């Protein structure tokens, strides 16, 4: 009885957490904006009630509150709209970097306006007076800055998103788990956690196996003997593909394609193309396809020929044999 009660309580908690996550919009930014506007509109009455405060001080505090509250509201609204739009369209998960970039930009503008208001200068003057400091800091953290700028570009262009299976320069392959300001984190197929600088990613060739859809076309190549007619070889490979389609990762609705792609001295090379539902099943599907091809070719005595050369020492002859 206690176990069942605990399970029900856990399910209820998960359901409530899911509802809060789906709601995606908090009323607190709206409330803060309303309070800030009211404080700015009625600052004379507030200063009259609190005689220890001057009108200018109350007005400046109210103006700063308006700047930050509206920056918070606009950033939160943008994040909620982007998240809801992605869910409604059934798209992939939107990276947090884009919404964080908008929020940082809005709060930076609010900070500049607040500093200009408090010290009695325009935001342009404040920015100009801090130019030397910005230049020194930029030179000191130029590598970090390059990663951050590359991360901003990745967030805006969105060549990949969280959950996508990607490959960088045919060397690093994995599933994207997090896209940060400076680094991108991926989890490889063998559960290795890798952290890649964004500037390095921006210079590499990228292959996204999850876009524009999760299923994609893979292929294997095999070379068969010349004595096997092309029509028979194609029929055998298609038969093997039908057997391999029993694997859960295959897309059974897409028919396999077999093409003769090369004719050489060692035999005729065929390319068998098939569809995989998700890159997570890539290795399993390839294993199932090769196993089915091997079984079918052995059953019909059509395995590729391996020519062996045996040199007989002391005799001027070479013996060749085919296995």
Each residue's pLDDT, cut to its tens digit, for the chain (323 residues) gives 434 444 444 444 444 444 444 445 578 888 888 888 888 887 777 777 776 666 677 788 888 888 888 888 888 887 777 677 555 555 555 556 667 777 878 888 888 777 777 776 555 555 555 555 566 666 666 777 788 888 888 877 888 888 899 998 877 899 999 888 889 999 988 888 999 999 888 888 899 998 888 889 999 999 998 889 999 999 999 999 999 988 888 988 888 999 999 998 888 999 999 999 999 899 999 999 999 999 999 998 888 766 555 555 555 555 555 55
What does the alpha-carbon distance between residue 79 and residue 68 come to, in Å, rounded to a whole number? 17
Single pTM value for the model: 0.57
The CA distances from residue 72 to 41, 104, 106, 181, in Å, are 20, 10, 8, 20
CB atoms within 10 A of CB 197: 17
DSSP summary character for residue 281 = G
Q: Give ∠ CA 261-277-157 in degrees, rounded to 5.
A: 95
The CB density around residue 31, as the number of other CB atoms within 10 Å, is 12
Q: Measuring CA to CA, which residue among 168, 159, 155 is closest to residue 195? A: 168
Sheet containing 257-264: give its strands across.
216-224, 267-276, 257-264
Residue 138, CA atoms < 13 Å, CB-side half-sphere: 7
Pair 11, 5: CB distance under 8 Å = no
Alpha helices per DSSP H over 24-54: 28-41, 43-49
Backbone dihedral angles phi then psi of residue 250, each to the nearest 5 degrees: -80, 155
């Amino acid at each position: 009885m206690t176990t069942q009660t605990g399970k029900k309580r856990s399910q209820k908690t998960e359901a409530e957490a899911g509802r809060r996550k789906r709601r995606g919009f908090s009323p607190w930014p709206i409330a803060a904006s309303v309070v800030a506007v009211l404080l700015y509109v009625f600052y004379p009455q507030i200063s009259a009630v609190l005689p220890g405060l001057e009108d200018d001080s109350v007005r400046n505090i109210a103006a700063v509150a308006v700047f930050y509250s509206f920056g918070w509201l606009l950033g939160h609204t943008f994040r909620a709209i982007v998240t809801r739009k992605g869910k409604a369209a059934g798209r992939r998960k939107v990276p947090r970097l884009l919404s964080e970039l908008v929020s940082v930009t809005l709060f930076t503008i609010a900070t500049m306006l607040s500093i200009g208001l408090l010290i009695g200068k325009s935001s342009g003057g404040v920015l100009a007076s801090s130019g030397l400091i910005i230049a020194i800091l930029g030179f000191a953290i130029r590598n970090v800055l390059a990663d951050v700028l590359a991360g901003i570009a990745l967030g805006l262009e969105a060549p990949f998103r969280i959950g996508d299976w990607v490959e960088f320069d045919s060397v690093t392959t994995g599933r994207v788990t997090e896209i940060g300001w400076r680094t991108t984190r991926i989890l490889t197929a063998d559960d290795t956690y890798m952290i890649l600088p964004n500037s390095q990613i921006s210079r590499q060739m990228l292959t996204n196996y999850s876009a524009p859809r999760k299923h994609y076309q893979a292929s294997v190549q095999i070379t068969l003997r010349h004595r096997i007619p092309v029509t028979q070889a194609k029929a055998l490979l298609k038969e093997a593909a039908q057997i391999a389609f029993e694997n859960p990762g295959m897309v059974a609705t897409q028919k396999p394609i077999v093409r003769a792609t090369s004719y050489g001295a060692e035999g005729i090379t065929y390319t068998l193309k098939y569809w995989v539902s998700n890159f997570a099943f890539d290795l399993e599907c390839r294993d199932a396809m090769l196993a089915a091809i091997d079984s079918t070719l052995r059953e019909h005595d059509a395995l590729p020929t391996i020519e062996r050369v045996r040199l007989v020492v002391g005799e001027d002859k070479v013996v060749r044999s085919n296995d």
